[in-house]
Structure 1
Amino acid sequence: MASEDVTFDQVAAAAAKLQKAGKEVSIDAVREALGFGSPTAVYKHLAAWRAEHVKPPELPRPDLPESIVNDLVEWVRQFADQASAGVRESMAQSASDAEALLRAGDELEAERETLQTERARVEAELADRSEEIDRLNAELRNARQIATEALVSKAKDQLAIDGKDKQLAELRAQLERNVTAQAEESDRRLAAEMDLVGATTARDSLEAELKDLRKQLETSYAERSKLRAEIEVLRGKK
């Protein structure tokens, strides 16, 4: 419970209870009995309670004639009033100083509570910032993972394209070798046939061979065009 929640009635009840039990009525005793309250707030209410409930001590009356005793008591009272004038003035100044201290204590208490509120706000803001940083770090890790997977996929596609290019080059070289070998074979067969059956038969055979070679070349060109189309498709997927 905050110090400003302490009321005069609560302090007065605790002080009366302590007084009835024969215990010392002090600030610490009242705070202990209440279980809450700042020293400044308890002191302010306890001072008001003491002014109402603590009686000044009675002067002892000696065994003398009543007239002398009355005169003596009156003289003592006057002397005490004169002697305590300075004390009362000092007490009044002390009370004023105490009141100033109480006000300063209340101001410090209010400032402390304001600082506690500000501290709670800053801590809450730091917690929010920490959650935001964690979220951004998670997004960054996710983005890095996606980028890495994209690079790996691109590298795989590039390897596949390179493999197709290599395969096409090998097929082209093989086709050229086959055409060269078939041409050489045709030349040999042509020479042999010309020797065997004459020039006319050799010519007919040569034309047939040439037609066959043309068909093979057309087939080879078609295969090469098909391979080029596949390569263009793969390159378009990069």
Structure 2
Amino acid sequence: MARPGITYEQVETIADQMIGNGEKPTIQTVRDALGTGSPNTIHRHPTAWRSAQPPVERQATRLPDHLAAAIAQEIERQASAARAEAEASADELRNQVAALIAERDEARNEASMATQEVERLRADLERERTAAEIARATAAEIKAWLAMVIEQRDESPSKGSMGSGAS
């Protein structure tokens, strides 16, 4: 004669009792509570029972008020220190930016003055080039005139030798 099998209802009852007692229902603990059944036979019932259970809501552990207050106070202290450090860093950065702007402005001023000096020197150079060109042209004219005077002198008879024999 065949043995009667273990039913879902039997497993459900045992599992509910175990949960009520704060125990965890497993295949082995259900089998021990029933006093019979093979693990393979029992396996399908706890699985079905677990899927039928509502999801368990986990509640966050609540810290004691004095501990929560101490943590909040420490967080505020750390945030205050971080804010103070950030403000000090910001002030330092503002000072650095101001110094860099002053340096930039000074460099621009020096560059502008240097550009003006370069332009003045270019104008002076151009005047000197023009004066040198005029001097070269004048020197060339004088040289040509002098060459012509020398040539004329060498070609004409000497006035002193022509008229000196009669006295």
Which TM-score tier does this pair reach, normalised by the shorter chain? 0.5 to 0.7
Aligned residue type for 1:105: A
CA–CA separation in structure 1 for the residues paired with 2:161 and 2:92: 107
Q: State the one-letter code of the partner of 1:173.
A: A
Question: 1:131 corresponds to which residue?
Answer: 105
TM-score (norm 2): 0.55
Provide the TM-score with structure 1 as the length reference.
0.39
Mapping of 1:177-192 within 5 angstroms? 177-183=151-157
Residue matched to 2:67: 93
1:145 aligns with 2:119: yes
Q: Which runs of 5+ in 2 are unaligned?
A: 1-61
More helix, by proportion: 1
Instruction: Provide the identity percentage.
Output: 12
CA distance in 1, matches of 2:164, 2:77: 125
Q: 5 Å matches for 1:7-26?
A: none
Please report how far the alpha carbon of residue 159 of structure 1 lies from its aligned counterpart in structure 2 after TM superposition.
1.1
| Alignment length (residue pairs) | 105
The residue that corresponds to 2:91 in the other structure is: 117
1:73-100 deviation per Cα after TM superposition (whole angstroms, max 9, x unaligned): xxxxxxxxxxxxxx6x711111111110
Equivalent residue number for residue 176 of structure 1: 150
Residue 162 of structure 2 corresponds to 206
Provide the aligned C-alpha RMSD in A: 2.7
Shift of 1:150: 2.0
Match of 1:156 in 2: 130
- Distance, in Å, in 2 between the alignment partners of 1:109 and 1:181 is 106
State the secondary structure of the residue aligned to 1:183. coil
Write the deviation string for residues 105-141 of structure 1: whole angstroms up to 9, x where unpaired.
Answer: 1101111211221121122112101201211110120
